[in-house]
Amino acid sequence: MKKILIVTISTLIIISFPFIYSCNKNVTNRTADLPALNPSSTDMNAGTWKTMLLTRPDTFAVAAPIAVTAPNYIAELNEVKGYQKNATDEQLAKVKYWSAGGVLRWNEILRGLVAKYNLPPYQNPDGTYPIPSANNPFAYPLFPFANPPYAARAYAYVTAAQYDALVACWYYKNKYNRPAPYKTDTTITAYVTKSSLPSYPSEAAVLAGVTSEMMLLLFPGESSNIQQLAVEQEQAAITSGTATRSDITAGEALGKQIADAFIARARTDKAGSAVGTPTDWANFVTTANSRGETPWYSLETPKRPPMLPLFGNVKSLLIDSATVVSLRPGPPPSTSSDQMKKETQEVYDYVQNPSRDNIRIVQFWADGVGTYAPPGHWNAIAAEDFINLNFSEVRWANNLALLNVTLMDAAIVCWNTKYYYFNPRPCQLNPAIKTLTGVPNFPSYISGHSTFSGAAAALLSFVVPSNATKYNQMAQEASISRLMGGIHYRSDCSTGLQVGQNVGGYAIARAKIDGAH
């Protein structure tokens, strides 16, 4: 009896031990607990900064706000007080979450959506592949397949629209100069860092409006979730003491109008036809053959059509199509050349008995299926550095827009090059090469990671010069990781990196004249 007791008790102790520790197993996001944004400058002149798409900051009119002494405004202030008085811990947690910066939070959310949708469709029973449809986003395959070019364009459109919308927002803030609720009524608590930034229209609502509207285009299956987040952001702005209802209403309307301008542009940028047709796909093979080169083929079974082969024709937000062609590098080594044999051998050597550190580098930069893709990785790198730089919302948006516009250009130039040369992957030329990450389903030359990373590092080095060495080292590592992983030749990587840097130069040139830098 005694023994049974001992066994039971000790077993229970042993079993409960893990439960005690399981409380500590929760994994939290690195940015979950950031302090409120604390801009070193309100950037009150941002209404004069050069916009990405809009021709003027006041293209869309915002009516003058009512006076802060008007009875209706007093009522709005009381509404703020009411929300503050009844705020639950959960609501205050939302206030804290959004106070770290709306541009940052939406960027994190967007990266999450890309990761969620970055899954290649499963084949049909007959060995063909279904193509996601924007008109039917909930049916399998879900729309979109947020692959690297799609992702690059999504990041660019969202951040560029946010930037233009905030420039317009700042224009009206400066024009109408309505003080924040916590300034007008000192009994209102500021759950954010106090500043002299005018409240009308609310920058939180501008962001909520512009971003949720852009999602209708880019992630139509997510619009209800996004709408909920937008409402949450606006609610948090009111509860935080930074905006009243009229600030919110004006901001959301402005944001949505500007988003619509971007959506109209996006519908005509040729991304919709980037999938190409079977005739297009066959033409790439014919062209490569006519040059005497071994054409690329899909290494998937069943063979998958190449990823967005006409993405190289997509209209950039920054450069024209002639510039895209001028940025396209010369050809890779001929597939039958000694140089190509040498480079293929080098890939083979890299994947034989790879060191753990090489595998770490491959994994760190893999950014493949189910991830936020290479452009998202550079957004993460940028955002986590920007957190420490005390940017205003509009400066955050400016820098992320520049980054993403250049990343989209990198995608355009890279894809243009890939399908111009239609060069095979290393493991097509030598099937003995086994890779340490998935082989992307598009031609080898030039490396997408290298092009993205070259462009991002160039732009970020301009934005944060003190980090230039770090960004360039990261770009080098991202680039070489593709050789280490067995999926790119050295010339794909080195040329890609150079082309990326050249692409980044255009965004830098733009940054120099946009009034923000």
Partner 1 sequence: MLENLLISINYFPYKEKEHKKIKQGFLLLRIIILSIFSTVLFTIETKAQTTEDVIMMNKKQWCNGLTYSYNSWSSYWEGTYKRTNDNIGIVSAQSVMFMSNYGIKNNLNVMVGLPWVSTKATAGTLQGLNGLQDISLAVKWKALTKKFAKGKISLFGVGELTTPTSNYVIDFLPLSIGLGSTNISAKLIANYQQKFLNIRLAGTYAWRSNVSLDRTAYYTTQIIYSNKVNMPNVANYNLAVGIHKKYLLVDAFVNNMTTLGGFDMRKNDMPFVSNTMNSTNIGVSSKYTLPSNTHISFVGAVSQVIAGRNVGQATSFTVGCFYANSFAHKVKSQSIK
Between 27 and 322, CB nearer to partner 1: 27
User: Using CA atoms, how far apart are residues 145 and 219, in angstroms rounded to an integer?
Assistant: 10
Between 120 and 331, CB nearer to partner 1: 120
- DSSP-derived secondary structure for 113-138: HHHHH--PPPPPTTS------TTSTT
CB 306, min distance to partner 1, A: 16
Site of tokens 């999504």:
154
Between 248 and 387, CB nearer to partner 1: 387
Between 412 and 474, CB nearer to partner 1: 474
Between 437 and 491, CB nearer to partner 1: 437
CB 406, min distance to partner 1, A: 22
Report the half-sphere exposure of 271 (CA within 13 A, side-chain side): 29
User: Using CA atoms, how far apart are residues 235 and 238, in angstroms rounded to an integer?
Assistant: 5
Between 120 and 515, CB nearer to partner 1: 120
CB 366, min distance to partner 1, A: 7
Q: 103, 393 in Cβ contact below 8 A?
A: yes
- 75 exposure class (CB count in 10 Å sphere: 0-12, 13-18, 19+): exposed
Q: 137, 126 in Cβ contact below 8 A?
A: no
CA torsion angle 376 378 384 389 (round to 10): -130
Contact residues: partner 1, CB under 8 A? 3-4, 6-7, 10-11, 14-15, 17-18, 21-22, 25-31, 108, 111-112, 115-116, 119-122, 140, 299-302, 351, 356, 359-360, 363-364, 366-367, 369-372, 380, 427, 433-436, 438-439, 486
Type and span of the H or E element at 174? helix 148-176
CA torsion angle 428 433 437 439 (round to 10): 0
Contacts 24+ apart (CB under 8 A), 15-19: none
CB 15, min distance to partner 1, A: 5
Main-chain dihedrals φ then ψ at residue 26, nearest 5 degrees: -60, 135
Q: 117, 142 in Cβ contact below 8 A?
A: yes
User: Using CA atoms, how far apart are residues 130 and 121, in angstroms rounded to an integer?
Assistant: 7
Between 438 and 515, CB nearer to partner 1: 438
Main-chain dihedrals φ then ψ at residue 298, nearest 5 degrees: -65, 135
The secondary structure of residue 389, as a DSSP letter, is: G
Cα-only R_g, the chain: 26
Between 31 and 294, CB nearer to partner 1: 31
CB 90, min distance to partner 1, A: 18
Longest Cα–Cα distance of the chain, Å, equals 89
Between 319 and 483, CB nearer to partner 1: 483
CB 428, min distance to partner 1, A: 9
Amino acid at 407: L
CB 179, min distance to partner 1, A: 35
Q: For the chain, give the number of residues.
A: 517
CB 81, min distance to partner 1, A: 34
CB 27, min distance to partner 1, A: 5
Between 25 and 85, CB nearer to partner 1: 25
CB 21, min distance to partner 1, A: 7
